[in-house]
Structure 1
Amino acid sequence: MSNNSETLEMMEITIQTNDSSKLWFPVIGEETQALLNHLGLPDEESRTRIQNEAIEVIQRCVPPGSLRGSKTGLVIGYVQSGKTMSFTTVAALACDNGYRMVIVIGGTKTNLLKQSNDRLKKDLRLDTRSDRKWKYVENPRGDKRQNIQSTLDAWHDPSVPEDERQIALLTVMKQSDHLQHLNNLLGNMNLEGVPVLIIDDEADQAGLNNKVNQGAMSTIYRHLIELRQLLPHHSFLQYTATPQAPLLINIVDVLSPDFAEALTPGADYSGGKEFFLDNPILIKTIPGSEIPTQDNQVIDPPETFLFAMMLFYLGVAAGYIKDKGRGNRSMMVHPSQKIAPHGEYFHWVRQMNNQWKKILGQDANDPARIDLLASFNKAYRDLVRTVGDLPLFDQLVDVLPRAINQTNIQQVNTAGGKTPTIDWKNEYAHILVGGQAMDRGFTVEGLTVTYMPRGAGVGNADTLQQRARFFGYKRSYLGYCRVFLEQDVKDAFINYVEHEENIRQQLKIYRGKPLFEWKRAFFLDNALKPTRGDVLDLPLMTGGFSDDWYVPNYPHDSDEDAINKNREVVNTFWSQLTALNEKIFGKISVNKHLFASDIPLTYTFEQLIVKFRTTHPSDSQRFTGLMLQVQHYLEQNPNELCDIYLMDKGKLRLRTISKNIGRLNLFQGRSHSTDPDKYPGDRQIVVKDKLTIQIHKLNLQVEAEERDIHNVSVIAIWVPQKMEHDWVSQNQGSVM
């Protein structure tokens, strides 16, 4: 590295920071700079973004100069957004900063591992570079022990020049046998003082403990735990686009992340927002009559399927005219997880392919040809709404026979044994029919048309999102894209967009903070579950307040410190309000309350709601969900007002927590008097269209514990319908 010292010193200065959560300050050396130069990024902004985000990740890993230690980090991208580029850059930074081994745990299938390995070798230039900076081993076994050990020993050999020391780069399939071979290899090596970076690609898949509720360890999870135990100095980075499972596993789990980083996609990325919110014209609904089920046998190719194929072939024809067939154009048909239906759709594609080629070869006056072109023209009119420079229809018709004839039609599943690998270079156009093999991690080059005649399954949000292979860097040809979905799946994707952004926004707020401090709560439509239940040993609560009260049930479960703190918060807040009036319901003094009207909700949220402590899991989960709703509404309506009531002018009311019920019955009921001004009950002390807070001060008698708790401040909150929102909440307790 003879020419590197000056560069390293300069780059070190540029990334200094006062953020104490960053454990060390990496340098950007020759390896990282060469990688970024090789990637061919479109502009300096892209280069800076990828570089800086990789630095943010590695700064939270165990410093390479430490003797021991471990960290777990979660790195979140969008589906098809460039996560591989991120972890390759992190690996290059590890190389520049003294890490001696990088382990990449790839896909669960051979084709996905190959896809990942090919990309890694290409980006790091392993087959073309003149030096031997990386000692690359795929799915290592025991026969590689001496080779890898000598690579690590060279770091202590003064006769080996610094710039000739190698980094061991091991890639392994996330599969039991391969992980066991890796562990056997490492178990026979001296790894003391060896800083290691582990990258778990698609980390929410397969590696988490799906036997946690049985009090056991699933096989791959056990191998990952053993791997980490073999490495005295390592950082474990979990890369995924669907972080729900890693975020919701128990925070005492070894794979629960200590920190999280959310990656930013490039300007050309098109994800859920672009498809489902900004350009809903790109989304087409498959009617229920065309969705194959046990009760609805679809015998002939559905109309929407034929329409989707026509849209695709017109796009292929346009590609031949405008781009001379450079790049790729693809259609993905995703009918089911099961293999049998794939054959049916594959047969239909081949059938229509042959039929359309034959008809287009007929005389111009042939009735069948005229009818077919009329159908294609209908698809053309749909495309022309979103493609500004679409060639004329007659021009596309001239090229349609070529577009149809030269399209590769292929099943992508294990029907023939191994899942086939797609040769993207041999053909410009592809129609791929498959299921699970085209879900998570599978990259479809130039994907324009997606046809997915299947339901949402069991409704796991992360599983659903991983089917969105139609997301990606598509802005330049977004107008050619169409996605055909069943209505419920379409609605689920629309709901997922907000859920995804809500999680990312919350994690950005917690950047630099210990992740265990983050309250596990986020927006999610109640029709969906965040993830599979077999990896979660802590229950989830779903909810959403709408024209309803939040009322705590267990304030007596709070410790003395929380009770004192809440009393102080309430008293301070109330004393600072100036618009105090007296409102009387009925004639007796117990029915008189003080109230403050039209108080800024932002102020109330920050000074009362956020500061108020709830400790019982049930109360806490509901209260956290309520705070999410209020915060979200305030983001759109920052000038919203609310009303505050000090019940019974702040006099201490007596409430008994009975043995049988065990929870608080907070509200005083309505008066049974015949007086026309009779008291309507606490529940009615509310302004229906505004958030309303009642402050209650109580003396509690807890029968089961035979104790009294004095001067307990409790708040009840009315949430109007306009603030309605579904959420999921989980109580993680404390690691302290």
Structure 2
Amino acid sequence: MAAGPLTTALLADLGRKLSAEERETLLIETGQILSNCNPVDEIGSATGIVIGYVQSGKTMSFTTLTALAADHGYRMVIYLAGIKNNLLDQTTKRLKSDLQTEAENMKIFRVLQSPTMAEDSATLIKNTLSQRRKPVVLITVLKHYKHIGELTQIIKTPEVRDALGSQGVLIIDDEADQASLNTYARKNSKAEDWEEDEFSSTYSSILDLKAALKNHTYIQYTATPQGPLLINIMDLLSPKFHVLLTPGGGYTGGKTFFVDQPGLIVEIPRQEVYHYKLNDLEHCPQSLIEALQLFLIGVAIVVEIKQKARFLSMMVHADRETDASKKFHKWVKAILGSWADRLNDLDEGDPSRLELIAEFKSVYPEAVKLMDEPPAFDAVIEALLDVILDYRIHLVIGQGSKRSPEINWSSASAHILIGAEMLNRGYTVEGLAVSYMPRYTIGKANADTIQQRCRFFGYKRSYIQSCRVFLPEGTIEEYEDYVKHEEIMRGELSTKSLEEFEKVLVLSSSMNPTRNNILTKDIVRSKLLGWRQLNALQHIEENTRIVEEFRAAHEFTLFEDYKTSDRNHLMAKVPIDEAISFLRDFKISNVPDTLRKSSTIQYLNHMKEHTDLKYAYVFDMAYQVNQGRERSLIEKDGKLKINNIFSGASLSGSLVYPGDRYVYYPDFLCIQIHKIRLKHDSEWNRKILYTLGIYYPESLEHTFVGMP
């Protein structure tokens, strides 16, 4: 799509950051995204995924998309801007700055952060949409069901609904996998089924927002390489297109740190790896002292001597517990204060001063080992005398309802940020050079957790020689696996459609390095044991096609002759990979069953690799009942679900019928295909659809639990 005046102006402004080639790539990829969106003036919807690297410029992409959409007549853009207020503030500020909404474009864009009914935001939005100059409404909202629900209420008001009509709306979900199904997959509830109230209602609220808009496109921005999570998103929100973002030439991601230049990684000794219970350090670890020294030397060289940056920063991420952050903050503050005093207040010949200079000299070779022409150590120490007096330490932790104060990056040459979860995904650390992350993990972390801590990725090519990342041995190995997996995933996505990619994602062990750790023993014992039913009330035509194609591809035989069409069922013994493919293809659009389906696939893949599980049984229930067996549709907590798909036992007829739950083989995973004719006092009455019943055998549960 051609750039209009807003996009042209934005790209020109980005000329300070991007080369001409990078701006051209950005425009091409943004055009690909918008060209797949629902047309600006047609009722309908579309969903897509935009996949970038961590810290690679996703915000720049959706800001450019906003400008291009405005140039082509879209009237509203909604941003689901993270799960924390600081991320919401960060996104809003960035949009206002890049799109100059408070300068020359103030009459083109109207930015609203967290609009509410109480503030009469509906009237403000209606008036904006009704103006003859056709300004674009930009709405940033916290990714939380209450905030999204409040916005949905506003959208549903008659004044906004009438003013918006069928005009195009974009919903941009930043960090789409955050606050998602995966967050709740590990809940060890003892209930047999996943219930709606076990989940954040985030995705339900997104679906409600989508339903309130006549013409919209939902665009998920993510950098996650975690296979099961992408499967969850694909099932629930059914994306139809994807775009891979190309990072700029100055980008330094996982491949740079863990493949191309492994010398950037420093291993933290095992005894210095922090855990608030298992290893609550009493004294500042030596590795942190060395990290601080490397950082200050880097600032002296990059900022003071070579002047390649205005400032650099360091991040210390010790543990999720805020007390740990406070402990490390105390250590860092005391160390830097002592160094400043010794270097600048003591005489040049003072033994304490000379000892400190000797310590810096001992780490100097490590600091400059990747530099082609490093400055002399004496020049570095001379510059360091000023650096040690020009730093700021920031404790970045949650403080109840208070938001962390915004950092004034221009206030110092060196910034040291110490914090916990506030420094995770989405938080931008400007000029990050040294990262110190001594977090002790029990077991293997999953890919999305690893990704959250990738703040050290980004555009650092100009000072990459002074970057260092301090990590425990096990974490280094996890990052190496993560990077390998990320490159495989992007390679597959670059040549495959989403449908083709999803099949590879499910069946390829190389596509999910943490698959075996997704499920807990409690989940397998409580939720993946015995009979469970799915409620496939959406995608009726697509699921009908999927079932018919599966039937045609397999040879079914009669399970047992119970003499009546309602009780006679066909069965097929199928390879486990084909059972997995069938589950993958079958569409589910409610939160609990989407998670059940995804977890079943993960469970089967795990068992396939670690046991002799090679087959599953698929049953075509009551195959002669063309109109389906009648089942009631009931309402529970505002949600519709099929009351019970399984027929019970019966003593009537020529043979005793044991019931649908006995149509199975007890030592195999069994999938029943049920054709259902709904009974309900609504438009659902007499609708015919397919849904599934799944039997998880006790033998597999024991095998799973017994594994180390």
TM-score normalised by length of structure 2: 0.70
The corresponding residue for 2:152 is: 183
Structure 1 match to 2:116 = 141
After superposition, where does 1:409-448 map in structure 2 within 5 Å? Answer: 409-415=393-399, 417-448=402-433
Q: Which moved more, 1:489-498 or 1:352-361?
A: 352-361
Is the counterpart of residue 476 in structure 1 residue 458 in structure 2?
no
Superposed displacement of residue 219, structure 1: 2.4
Q: Aligned partners of 1:520, 1:452: CA distance in 2, in Å?
A: 32
Where does structure 1 differ by over 4 angstroms across 4 or more consecutive aligned residues? 207-213, 323-326, 511-519, 524-539, 557-561, 614-625, 661-664
Q: Residue deviations 1:151-204, cap 9 Å, x none? A: 3234xxxxx3xxx22111111111343222211211102243121100011111
What residue is the counterpart of 1:93 in the other structure? 68
Q: CA deviation at 1:562?
A: 3.4
Kindly provide the amino acid, as one letter, of the partner of residue 108 in structure 1.
I
**Could you say which residue in structure 2 is the equivalent of 1:103?**
78
State the partner residue of 1:266: 248
Confirm whether residue 49 of structure 1 aligns to residue 11 of structure 2: no
Q: Secondary structure at the match of 2:411?
A: coil
**Structure 1's 501 and 325: CA in aligned 2 closer, same or farther, altered over 3 A?**
closer
- With over 3 angstroms needed to count, the CA separation of the structure-2 counterparts of 1:110 and 1:349, relative to structure 1, is same
Structure 2 counterpart of 1:44, which letter? A
1:363 matched to 2:347: yes
Amino acid at match of 2:254: G
2:409 counterpart SS class: coil
Q: Deviations over 1:322-377 (max 9, x none)?
A: 35585220010000011011111111101111221222232333332222222211
Backbone CA RMSD of aligned residues: 3.5
- Does the CA-based 8 Å contact 1:270-1:472 persist in structure 2? yes
2:273 is matched with which residue: 285, 291, 304? 291
SS of equivalent to 2:177: coil
Residue identity in the other structure for 1:121: K
Q: Equivalences for 1:2-401 in 2 at 5 Å?
A: 26-40=1-15, 41-66=17-42, 68-129=43-104, 132-142=107-117, 143-154=120-131, 160=132, 164-188=133-157, 189-190=160-161, 191-208=164-181, 214-216=194-196, 218-242=200-224, 244=226, 246-249=229-232, 251-253=234-236, 255-293=237-275, 294-323=277-306, 326-361=309-344, 362-401=346-385
8 Å Cα contact 1:460-1:532 kept in structure 2 = no
Structure-2 change in CA distance of 1:386 and 1:519 (3 Å): closer
Question: Where do residues 608-619 of structure 1 align in structure 2 (5 Å cutoff)?
Answer: 616-618=575-577
Residue type of the alignment partner of 1:347: K
1:247 and 1:520 in contact (8 A); partners too = no
Q: TM-score, normalised by structure 1?
A: 0.67
Structure 2 counterpart of 1:242, one-letter code: T
Distance in 2 of aligned mates of 1:530 and 1:257 = 26
1:604-643 equivalent positions in 2, closer than 5 A? 616-618=575-577
Tell me, yes or no, if the aligned pair for 2:288 and 2:436 is still in contact at 8 Å. yes
State whether residues 413 and 420 of structure 1, in contact with CA within 8 Å, keep that contact through their aligned partners in structure 2: no
The partner residue of 2:475 within 477, 482, 489 is 489
Q: Contact (CA 8 Å) 1:249, 1:538: kept in 2 or not?
A: no
Q: By how many angstroms is 1:84 displaced? A: 0.4
Letter in 2 for 1:387: M
Contact persistence 1:270–1:471 (CA under 8 A): yes
Structure 2 partner of 1:550: none
In the aligned structure 2, how far is the partner of 1:619 from the partner of 1:538?
A: 23
Contact residue 495 and residue 524 of structure 1 kept, 8 A: no
Question: Secondary structure of the residue that 1:75 maps to in structure 2?
Answer: strand
Query: CA offset at residue 277 of structure 1?
Result: 0.8
Distance 2:272 2:664 in 1: 62
What is the CA-CA distance between 1:51 and the residue it aligns to? 0.4
Moved more, 128-137 or 243-252: 243-252
Q: Shift of residue 521 of structure 1?
A: 4.2
Distance verdict in 2 for CA 1:259–1:401, change over 3 Å: same
- Aligned-partner Cα distance in 2 for 1:199–1:469: 22
Task: Assess, with a 3 A threshold, how the Cα gap between structure 1 residues 306 and 624 changes in structure 2: closer, same or farther.
Answer: farther
State the distance in 2 between where 1:376 and 1:320 align: 18
CA shift, 1:411, in A, is: 0.6
Deviations 1:563-588 (A, max 9, x none): 69xxxxxxxxxxxxxxxxxxxxxxxx
Q: Tell me, which stretches of 5 or more residues in structure 1 are unaligned?
A: 1-25, 155-159, 540-556, 565-613, 626-660, 665-703, 707-731
* Amino acid paired to 1:198: I
